[in-house]
């Protein structure tokens, strides 16, 4: 668990981070969102002491980070940055194995761990082991960056706009893989981004920052439903908010059981979002979809009225 | 497959050795065979009684020349690289401008002036020329060490730091290997310049390949001057091409094999 209590950071006269408090429980994915210069990266770097905070308390599992030796602390925390920071003179295997080697693992253990991670991140060992960073595409390089961060199996993972420099298609793919990875590994993640869609897609807990302060924090759905001020609302996409909210709501929670009427032509898998359902309705010029399970067996109905009604009902109660 | 690959690499590497070999062999031939070229030098300097410099054997002069340049190079490399490292650390950053300026100052001083100043203090002989070469050769090494270390991308250093590497580990495993090609280029410049500059040592009694040149100028014997100049030029070319080879080796080791 990471806990920041009334933390501030001043550079000379300038206050980069101003009196923020934040709690990230074990296994939770927390996204810090804001425009550039809002202090989100500074906040991230204070957690692994790349930057020392000026005021307040930062604790990991209840112990103040000041009590740790900074070098030991960092070896326990995974870190991923935008331009990967891979060492250009080391091949993929050596780059990934960095932290385990620093921790003096045996050569065999390091090798086994590196191969396990390459497997996990979809980097075939035979193909990539001996490649150098300049021989990788942006997406591949960032996979290596994530593998390096995970190498010593840290509980905490800090990610500083890790997908910011990637093309949209690669970015989306890596976002999906990160979500899957997180569902498997349950790391405590702090993720910095200026891309609200990315944050909404990945985060359990969303923190909106502006000029060094936290403006609002909560679950993505809670923020979408009740943005506390116009800035948060504009960050959340203004009029697009309805669609973003729909993107976070599953078809499963809104379908009705199969009625006596003939099933509709268009079929939507049960684990899709309401946003995808709406899109399908627009595409197929229909106001009714048949919901199917993973074996393509019809299990329910979803009507446009249902989608709209449920969305309205949600306004009152915050659901996740 | 690895055999085929090895063969391709061997074929690619063979020409790399060609020029260093050519220059080293020409150097050896000229040093050993200088007396044999007497007829040629007679033709150049028909009036002189003596046309091949014979107060010392050329290989002895070459050895002394190399010794002077070598000692100066080792000292400048150690001092220059260490100074460059020291002022790029956080604690030494206050001295960064000072060291840069001192190194530049060393090179603006003409070596002859250094010799003139050093002789009264250090006496005649080899020591003043070593001091002059050290001062003169320091700048390229300091400058390139600074450029090399400062050229390492900030992201890479941040990542190294964030992964939990200690400052010493970052320096040895990340910064120095990445700066090595630039530092080596500085050493190459420094040593090559100093091979030529070392000839000035002959004026203060440090016997080396400058001797025939000085003797030739004093006696008006062009053949002597030519012999000294030719040997120094071949030595400079040989050493320079060896450095080039080293740089290429380093480059291929740092990038993909």
Summarised one tens digit per residue, pLDDT across range A123-145 is: 999 999 999 999 999 999 999 99
Q: Are A10 and A16 in contact (CB under 8 A)?
A: yes
Q: B215 and B224 in contact (C-beta within 8 Å)?
A: yes
Q: What pLDDT is recorded for position A316?
A: 41
Evaluate whether residue A194 is within a structural domain. Answer: yes
State residue B256's pLDDT score. Answer: 45
| A173 and A34 inside one domain | yes
Q: Which residues contact B151 (CB under 8 A, 6 or more apart)?
A: B178, B179, B182
Residues B80-93 have pLDDT tens digits of 999 999 999 888 88
Residue A267 lies in a domain: yes
From A239, A265, A298, the end of a domain falls on A239
CATH number of this structure's domain B58-255: 1.10.3720.10
pLDDT band at B9 (very low <50, low <70, confident <90, very high): low
For chain B, the structural domain boundaries read: 58-255
Contact present, A51 and A70 (Cβ < 8 Å): no
Nearest C-alpha of chain B: how many angstroms from A287?
51
Q: Are residues A94 and A153 in the same domain?
A: yes
Looking at the partner chain, which of A85, A89, A99 has a beta carbon nearest the beta carbon of B158?
Answer: A85
Does A126 contact chain B (CB < 8 Å)? no
Q: Is the pLDDT of residue B227 over 80?
A: yes
Phi, psi of A219 (to 5 degrees): -70, 155
Q: Is the pLDDT of residue B197 over 50?
A: yes
B119 touches chain A (CB under 8 A): no
Distance, in Å, from the CA atom of A101 to the CA atom of A99, rounded to the nearest integer, reads 5
Domain end (from A217, A239, A261) = A239
Q: Can you tell me the mean pLDDT for A26-53? A: 92
For chains A and B, CB pairs below 8 A equal 66
Reported ipTM: 0.80
Q: Looking at the complex, does the CB of residue B3 fall below 8 Å from at least one CB of chain A?
A: no
Mark whether A268 and A159 lie in a shared domain.
Answer: no
Query: Torsions phi, psi of A303, nearest 5?
Result: -105, 160
**C-alpha to C-alpha distance for B150 and B167, rounded to whole angstroms:** 15
**Chain B residue whose CA is closest to A80:** B159
Q: How far apart are CA B127 and CA B70, in angstroms?
A: 13
* Residue B135, C-beta contacts closer than 8 angstroms, at least 6 positions apart: B106, B107, B109, B111, B114
B201-220: average pLDDT: 85
Q: Are residues A280 and A305 in the same domain?
A: yes
Residue A46 inside a domain? The answer is yes
Q: Are A95 and A148 in contact (CB under 8 A)?
A: yes
Mean pLDDT of chain A: 88
With beta carbons less than 8 A apart as the criterion, state whether A42 and A10 touch.
Answer: no
CA distance B245 to chain A (A): 19
What is residue A310's predicted lDDT score, i.e. its pLDDT?
59
Kindly state whether residue A6 falls inside one of the protein's structural domains: yes
Residues of A in contact with B166 (CB under 8 A): 71
User: Could A83 and B169 be called an inter-chain contact, meaning their C-beta atoms sit closer than 8 Å?
Assistant: no
pLDDT at residue B203, rounded to an integer: 83
User: In this model, does residue A318 exceed pLDDT 70?
Assistant: no
Task: Please report, for the domain that includes residue A219, its CATH number.
Answer: 3.40.50.300
Q: How far is CA A118 from the centre of its chain?
A: 20
CATH for A292: 3.10.580.10
User: Which of residues 148 through 177 in chain B touch A, CB cutoff 8 A?
Assistant: 153, 155-156, 158-166, 169, 173-174, 177
Tell how strand A298-303 and strand A256-257 pair up: antiparallel
Give the domain range for residue A298. Answer: 249-319
Residue A310 CA to its chain's centroid (Å): 26
- One domain, residues A48 and A180: yes
Closest alpha carbon to B62 in B246, B190, B227: B227
Instruction: Choose the mutation target among B156, B164, B166, B175 for the interface with A, i.e. most A CBs under 10 Å.
Output: B164
Cβ of B162 and A88 within 8 Å?
Answer: no
Instruction: Report the DSSP pairing between strands A288-292 and A298-303.
Output: antiparallel
The token pair that represents A131 in the structure block = 């490649």
pLDDT exceeds 50 at position B257:
no
Is there a domain that residue A145 lies in?
yes
**Region of residue B164 (left: phi > 0; alpha: psi -120 to 50; beta: else):** left
> Which of A77, A86, A89 to mutate: most B Cβ within 10 Å?
A89
Mean pLDDT on A3-8? 92
* Mean pLDDT to the nearest integer, A25-44: 91
Last residue of a domain, one of A239, A271, A302: A239
pLDDT in tens, A85-119: 999 999 999 999 999 999 999 999 999 999 999 99
Q: What are phi and psi of A89, to 5 degrees?
A: -95, 5
Measured CA to CA, the distance from residue A248 to residue A256 in angstroms comes to: 19
Domains: count for chain A: 2
Residue B134 contacts residue B114 (beta carbons within 8 Å): no
pLDDT in tens, B13-70: 556 788 888 898 998 888 888 778 788 887 877 777 777 787 778 888 888 899 999 9
3 state DSSP class of A92: helix
Gap from A315 CA to chain B (nearest CA, Å) = 42
Is 60 exceeded by the pLDDT of residue A11?
yes
Is the separation of the CB atoms in B131 and B118 below 8 Å? Answer: yes
What is the reported pLDDT for A319?
40
Residues A256 and A114 both lie in one domain: no
User: Of A20, A21, A37, whose CA–CA distance to A213 is shortest?
Assistant: A20
- Report whether pLDDT(A212) > 80: yes
Residue A244 falls inside a structural domain: no
Mean pLDDT of A2-21: 91
Mean pLDDT in residue range A40-68: 92
Q: Does B205 touch chain A (CB under 8 A)?
A: no
Q: Check whether residue A32 and residue A173 sit in a common domain.
A: yes
Q: Say yes or no: A127 and A182 in one domain.
A: yes
Residue B2 pLDDT: 45
Task: Tell me the pLDDT band of B10, cut-offs 50, 70 and 90.
Answer: low
A170-179, A215-224, A234-243, range with the lowest pLDDT: A234-243
Q: What is the pLDDT of residues A153-210, one digit of tens each?
A: 999 999 999 998 889 899 999 999 999 999 999 999 999 999 888 998 899 999 999 9
The label of the residue with tokens 């990991």 reads A60
Q: Does B37 touch chain A (CB under 8 A)?
A: no
Using alpha carbons, list the distances in angstroms from residue A309 to A258, A260, A300, A302: 18, 21, 17, 11
State whether A172 and A272 are in the same domain.
no
Residues 6+ apart with CB under 8 A from A145: A80, A81, A84, A85, A86, A162
| Chain B environment of A83 (Cβ under 8 Å) | 153, 155
Could you report the per-residue pLDDT of B83-121, keeping only the tens digit for each?
Answer: 999 999 888 888 888 888 887 787 777 878 888 888 888
Specify the pLDDT at position A320.
35
Same domain, A117 and A257: no
Lookup: tokens for B144: 């390139």
Q: Is the pLDDT of residue B12 over 90?
A: no
Closest CA to B212 of B231, B193, B195, B196: B231
The answer on A57 and A149 residing in a single domain is yes
Query: How confident is the prediction for chain B on average, in pLDDT?
Result: 85
Span A274-282, average pLDDT: 89
What pLDDT sits at residue B255? Answer: 59
Opening angle at CA A212, ends A211 and A215, nearest 5? 80
pLDDT at position B254 is 66
Looking at the structure, do residues A177 and A270 belong to the same domain, yes or no?
A: no
Strand boundaries in B82-197, DSSP class E: none
A114-129 burial code (b ≥16 CB/10 A, e <16)? beebbebbebeeeebb
pLDDT for A311 equals 55
Phi, psi of B218 (to 5 degrees): -65, -45
What average pLDDT does the segment B190-207 reach?
Answer: 87
Percentage of residues in chain A having pLDDT higher than 70: 97
């Amino acid at each position: 668990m990471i806990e920041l209590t009334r933390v501030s950071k001043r550079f000379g006269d300038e206050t980069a981070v101003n009196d923020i408090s934040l709690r990230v429980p074990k296994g939770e994915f927390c996204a810090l969102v804001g425009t550039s210069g809002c202090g989100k990266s500074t906040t991230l770097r204070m957690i692994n002491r790349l930057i020392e905070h000026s005021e307040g308390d930062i604790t990991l599992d209840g112990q103040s980070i000041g009590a740790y030796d900074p070098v030991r602390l960092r070896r326990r925390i995974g870190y991923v940055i935008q331009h990967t920071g891979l060492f250009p003179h080391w091949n993929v295997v050596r780059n990934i194995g960095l932290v385990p080697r620093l921790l003096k693992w045996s050569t065999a253990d390091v090798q086994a761990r590196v191969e396990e991670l390459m497997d996990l991140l979809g980097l075939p060992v035979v193909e990539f082991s001996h490649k150098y960073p300049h021989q990788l595409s942006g997406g591949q390089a960032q996979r290596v960056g994530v593998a390096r961060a995970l190498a010593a199996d840290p509980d905490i993972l800090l990610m500083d706009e890790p997908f910011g420099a990637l093309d949209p298609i690669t970015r989306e793919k890596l976002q999906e893989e990160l979500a899957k990875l997180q569902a498997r590994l349950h790391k405590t993640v702090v993720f910095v981004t200026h891309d609200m869609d990315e944050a909404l897609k990945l985060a359990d807990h969303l923190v909106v920052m502006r000029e060094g302060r936290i403006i609002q924090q909560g679950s993505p759905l809670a923020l979408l439903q009740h943005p506390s001020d116009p800035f948060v609302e504009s960050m959340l996409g203004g009029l697009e908010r309805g669609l973003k909210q729909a993107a976070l709501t599953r078809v499963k929670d809104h379908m009705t059981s199969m009625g006596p009427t003939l099933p509709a032509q268009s079929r939507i898998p049960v684990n899709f979002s309401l946003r995808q359902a709406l899109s399908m309705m627009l595409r197929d010029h229909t106001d009714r979809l048949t919901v199917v399970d993973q074996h393509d067996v019809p299990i329910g109905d979803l009507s446009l009225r249902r989608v709209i009604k449920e969305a309205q009902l949600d306004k009152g109660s915050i659901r996740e | 497959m690895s055999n085929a690959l090895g063969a391709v690499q061997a074929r690619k590497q063979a020409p790399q050795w060609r020029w260093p070999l050519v220059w080293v062999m020409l150097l050896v031939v000229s040093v050993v065979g200088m007396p044999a070229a007497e007829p040629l030098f007679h033709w150049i300097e028909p009036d002189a009684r003596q046309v091949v410099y014979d107060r010392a054997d050329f290989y002895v002069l070459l050895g002394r020349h190399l010794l002077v340049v070598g000692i100066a190079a080792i000292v400048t490399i150690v001092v220059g690289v260490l100074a460059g490292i020291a002022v790029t650390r956080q604690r030494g950053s206050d001295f960064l401008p000072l060291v840069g300026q001192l190194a530049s100052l060393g090179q603006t001083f003409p070596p002859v002036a250094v010799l003139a100043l050093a002789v009264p203090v250090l006496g005649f002989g080899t020591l003043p020329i070593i001091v002059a070469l050290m001062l003169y050769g320091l700048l390229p090494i300091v400058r390139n060490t600074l450029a090399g270390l400062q050229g390492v991308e900030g992201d890479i250093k941040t990542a190294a730091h964030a992964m939990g590497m200690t400052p010493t580990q970052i320096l040895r495993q990340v910064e120095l290997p990445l700066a090595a090609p630039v530092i080596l280029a500085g050493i190459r410049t420094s040593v090559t310049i100093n091979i030529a500059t070392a000839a000035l040592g002959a004026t203060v009694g440090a016997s080396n390949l400058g001797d025939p040149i000085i003797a030739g100028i004093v006696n008006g014997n062009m053949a002597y001057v030519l012999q000294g100049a030719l040997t120094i030029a071949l030595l400079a070319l040989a050493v320079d091409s060896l450095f080039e080879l080293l740089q290429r080796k380093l480059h291929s080791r740092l990038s993909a094999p």
